[in-house]
Structure 1
Amino acid sequence: MFTGIITDIGTVIGYDHRLGTDAIFTIASQYEVNTLTLGASIAHQGVCLTLIELNPGPTGSVWRVQVSQETLDVTCAHDWRLATKLNLERALKVGDELGGHMVSGHVDGIGEVVQVRQENDSHRVLIRIDEAIAKFIAPKGSIAIDGVSLTINEVDDAIFGVNIIPHTWAVTTLGRLKAGTRVNVEADQVARYVERILSRKN
């Protein structure tokens, strides 16, 4: 489990995806290698991935993760290449502060940014999502975009808006957003369970 509070931005420094195999990504991070363990779960742009190799790096640590074809098909991991920047968050520990909301690292689908505009010091971002995810979206609810916990401001059918404050814009990869950018979307788990209960009752 995660909280949607990003603690580092990693960089893809290696990529291997041969025909008929899963993709292997090598990630460089500022996390100290002695604070990580082989097999640990880390959210990469909101996608929960397991460390299959771990080594010291020039400024922290370097690890490798294996991404299945299924994950490549349903997340923006398909778009990652050398030098791609990734929001990183280590798994929540018992006793840690829950600063965002409960995030599983299991992406529901891919959204597309339709508009980015500045509002005072912040940025308002409109994102279009698939109808299958739209049923989980509600004003003032929580959502994870590329692993970042955000509050939904408004909803218009399959398009919703979020407000990104300057700090979040600067310390996450959300500062790269522009019209046409694809993003990983994970709906709030509470909304998902409520919808499931109500659909079964109906």
Structure 2
Amino acid sequence: MFTGIIEVLGELKELKKEGENLHLTIATPMAAELKVDQSVSHNGVCLTVVATDSEEYTVTAIDETLRKTTLGHLIPGDKVNLERGMQLGARLDGHIVQGHVDQKGTCTGIEEKDGSWIFTFQYDALQNNITIQKGSITVDGVSLTVVDSANSHFSVAIIPYTYEHTGFKCYKLGTEVNLEFDVIGKYVARLLGKSSS
């Protein structure tokens, strides 16, 4: 379980293919505090630490994860949004994030405002995921509030701190991102779907 509040940007140092699995080695000051078997969110994808030292750690993504997320597109040097699992009793500053990506989305708009940015993302509405205005959405592991919501796209407002301390500063038109829709909204949508059938 995560909050969507990114702790640090890591740097992908190495990719190693083993069968259908992909081992990702990431450099971050946080590595010294990690231990094997610990869960860490990587651009919104929960992965388990399999090796660690004082400067780097390694996680493994299986084929299904690579197909359903953007992790397979990463190359050495890319920045990765990192968050450790939420501690019991800690403040929930973002929202409830599972680290289970629902689908990928594409950046279709970047508008610079006076002190902030509006990012628009499009997604496949046929997968029955929804957003609502002022509801929560997770983009590459970042907990955000939806500004505008439509059937197949939504926008979010990014403050300078978030822009500088997450991968948002690297996004361009066409950038693919991992989307996790609000878990409470998913349960409500499922219940309403069942009750109307």
Normalising by structure 1, we get a TM-score of 0.94
| Distance in 1 of aligned mates of 2:60 and 2:126 | 27
Residue of structure 2 equivalent to 1:37:
35
Equivalent of residue 102 in structure 1, options 96, 103, 106: 96
Give the AA of the match of 1:95: G
Report the count of equivalent residues: 196
Equivalent residue, structure 2, for 1:117: 111
3-state DSSP class of the match of 1:56? coil
Kept in 2, the 8 Å contact 1:143–1:186? The answer is yes
Question: 1:85 aligned to 2:84?
Answer: no
Cα deviation, residue 55, structure 1? 1.0
Cα offset, 1:32, TM superposition = 5.2
Conserved? CA contact 2:129–2:181, under 8 Å: no
Name the CA distance, whole Å, in 1 between partners of 2:49 and 2:102: 22
* Structure-1 residue corresponding to 2:50: 52
Q: Is the 8 A contact 2:31 2:52 kept in 1?
A: no
Whole-Å Cα distance in 1 between the matches of residues 124 and 94 of structure 2?
Answer: 24
Where structure 1 has 5 or more consecutive residues not aligned to the other structure, the ranges are: none
RMSD over aligned CA atoms reads 1.2
Paired AA for residue 62 in structure 2: S
**CA displacement 1:66-96 (0-9 Å, x = unmatched):** 1001000000001111111000000001111
Q: Is the 8 A contact 1:134 1:157 kept in 2?
A: no
The SS at the match of 1:191 is: helix
How far apart are residue 198 of structure 1 and its match? 0.8
Distance 1:82 1:94, change over 3 A: same
Q: Deviations over 1:25-61 (max 9, x none)?
A: 111111151x32210000000000000011112xxxx
2:184 aligned residue: 190
The aligned residue for residue 6 of structure 2 is: 6
Aligned pair partner of 1:164 in 155, 158, 176? 158
Tell me if structure 1 keeps the 8 A contact 2:105–2:122.
Answer: yes
Greater Cα offset, 98-107 or 156-165: 156-165
> How far apart in 1 are the matches of 2:127 and 2:164?
28
Does residue 1:72 correspond to 2:66, yes or no?
yes
Rounded Cα–Cα distance in structure 2 between residues aligned with 1:133 and 1:177 = 24
| Whole-angstrom CA distance in 2 between matches of 1:134 and 1:9 | 31
> Structure 2, unaligned stretches of length 5 or more?
none
> Within 2, Cα distance between the matches of 1:133 and 1:178?
24
Q: TM-score, normalised by structure 2?
A: 0.96
What percentage of aligned pairs have identical amino acids?
A: 35
Q: Indicate the residue corresponding to 2:21 in structure 1.
A: 22
Conserved 8 A contact 2:3-2:95: yes
Distance 2:127 2:28 in 1: 31
